[in-house]
Structure 1
Amino acid sequence: MKTPIALFWFRRDLRIDDNTALNKALQSKLPVLPIFIFDKDILTELPKDDARVTLIYETLQKLRSTLQEKHQSSIALYYSSPLDVFKNLIAEYKIEAVYTNHDYEPYARKRDQAIAEFLKENEIEFKTYKDQVIFEKDEIVKDDGDPYVVYTPYMKKWKATFKTSLLTESDTENQFRNFYKNTKLPQLTLEEIGFEKSAISVKDYDISEKLISNYKDTRDFPAENATSNLSVHLRFGTVSIRSIIKKTIVNKGEAFFNELIWREFFMQILWHFPKTTHNAFREKYDRIQWRNNETEFKKWCEGKTGYPLVDAGMRQLNETGYMHNRVRMLVASFLCKHLLIDWRWGEAYFAKKLLDYELSSNVGNWQWAAGSGVDAAPYFRIFNPTTQIKKFDKDLKYIQTWVKDYNELTYPEKIVDHKEARERCLRTYKEALK
């Protein structure tokens, strides 16, 4: 007779410590079998040396080693569609319940609904928990129940609702004895899931007192080593949001704290308005007649626009999977406003390249740059890519780091004249929005 077990499904929470659903599973007193599914439906869209897949794979290997050495357990790895994996698992094990943490993206919601229905048909509980945010879904809304679509009032309500008791971390350590005892659970190689090890590495995050307390003054200067590199770790859950906010409060980092709230603001926008992944939040902006010149888009992608700060950002992205946030705003504005290329093209390119790619933030910020999203800049606010250098990289340190040919004859001519592009943008937007 098979022993009843619980499954814990790792997803965007690649850690053992302070993992809400994992802790709940271990408290169930059933032996807990941890699994991770490399989802074929997602992976087929990615390049074979995708750095994010390497990060996920290597993180899972470290977690497997920890569980094997300390707790006589492991993580079962699968490569398939999630529904097919669960069909096989219920045939192999007597599963009482499946535990996992919430995911808010449209694909994830659809996937989880299908899994929940399948498990219910087989009399298995599907238990999901909030873990990657402090507030989710309808927890921060207006008094009439409508979602906020402007950041500042959302942020104020968020802070008014927040209590430090929400930062209580899960005491998983005392429950470790309840892991399923088997160190030989199914393993995979990168090659078996169709990938190879990426040459791009992920930086450790920095949330030191110095970085957080100076963040407001240093965050806009891309040559400074003044960003936390935290976003990729929050994206994949290698660190818990509760521990990060605790340290932010201790270090009195108000500006840094506000950025963490921006992350949750965009997540709740995606939850309430999933159509914004493909459609302008402000519907009239879908009437814009984009030029969508493929040659110019290619030059933008390669960092060959002739505007050095734009090119530095794109070359940093292509080489490292990172781009400084101030520069992200500039390159996005340049694509939409100077070249009149659809924001969805830029969003898709960032989705392929960014290590910290997060659908909600990426869509939110691209729509902000295009003027079509929530809390967006007015369409007539167009960054001047030359004066941006004077403001944020006047010594050209960032540019010269990434644009090696900046002072060479081979450096490309400007792809477009700023004044002419600005006037063309204003005409085009005005025509669409009248």
Structure 2
Amino acid sequence: MRSPLDFVTSLAAHGDVVRLRLGPLPIHAITHPELVQRVLVDDARHFERGRLFEKAALFFGGGVGTVSGAAHVKQRRILQPAFQRGKVADYTPLVREAVEEAVTSWRPGRVLSVTDVMNDLSFAMLTSTLFTVGFTREASAAVQRSVPVLLRGAMVRTILPEWWTGLPTPGNRRFARAIDEMGRAVDGAIAAYRAAGKDHGDLLSMLLALRDEDGTGLTDRQVHDQVINFAIAGIETTGATLAWFFHELGRNPAAEARVHEELDAVLGGRPPRHEDLPALKYTGRVVMEVLRLYAVWMFTRRALTPVRLGNTVIPAGGEVLYSPYALHHDPRWFPAPDAFDPDRWLPERSADVPKGAFIPFGAGAHQCMGNTYAFMEALVAVAVICQRWRLCPIPGTRIRKTATVDVHPDHLPMTTEPRGGEGGGGAG
């Protein structure tokens, strides 16, 4: 709990399968990509999501991000159309407009709290595409306040014993308030959609229009759980990715220059379109490298039957831990793993990365269904911002990694500087 990133990266030195305890819970940590690939893909039918997700379902509800088995398959099939390639292309101009609106208030020389700014931007992109109406200003603020509290509390509740969560500690009271605040905000949005009775062409409209074979629609509670799941998955994780992107550009001037040159060459000063994104090859590699460096630090699975992993038999009901962060920082698969090196994702270099070693969005049946959408969001956001602005680090500021479920900066003050020359969009 005190130093989770150091903890998970230390496990590989003890073997491919490491027995340990998280509080009272015995668990086996797997540290080799081949075993991770087996658990997530090849032998996935022998596992369910496990304690982390089971605990999360108690307060985030039974949405696609928490359930396992047949319930997950059914929900994923229902929701998949919202993330098909054509639909993601439709979202692109809406994301771009949300970013353009967000940066209009920036002024030269302003010090931004980049972590907060990018979380706000992530929420704006989410509500411009998946939940386009229904969130009032007050409800939006409630969601944005609640998400970081819930992510911190979710990990604590996974590790600590059940009795602890019932204690009236300040953290537990904050968590309960955040659950209530976010629930009221989401329920208000659902009620607004129900009252309007029209299709807004977004995910929430699709959820409200769904019908079973017998014509029965989803209950408000079922819709509520899905919205909560997508908000939890889609706000702070994307916000952290964008914050780390600008942190790395700020301390790597050569990489920043290459991003600017590529944007100027591909876009020529015009706004990015969906068909431009494949041509932003270097910028995409920077996003990939950020996803490698700052991945989620812990996930779990639970064995449904006895399963042999290496020389260890995981009993039925046994918990398995795997860490994308630790895999991404293992020098066996990524030489100089702490170094920022976007060109490690050139095809000729990345071809040697084994399956299971790079899993920023997971893998197999439970791979994040919004991965293409999230990558598009990141590319569009950085393209719009970098065309107009540089975010410059403040000398002497030390930035630390903070692990909740995701890994984000503890703080990230940076100064805005307008870009000059070709492709610069001025101060907005």
Decide which structure has the larger Cα Rg and report it: 1
The structure carrying a bigger helix percent of its residues is 2
TM-score (norm. length: structure 1): 0.28
Q: TM-score normalised to the size of structure 2?
A: 0.28
Higher relative CO (Cα under 8 Å, sequence separation at least 6) belongs to 2
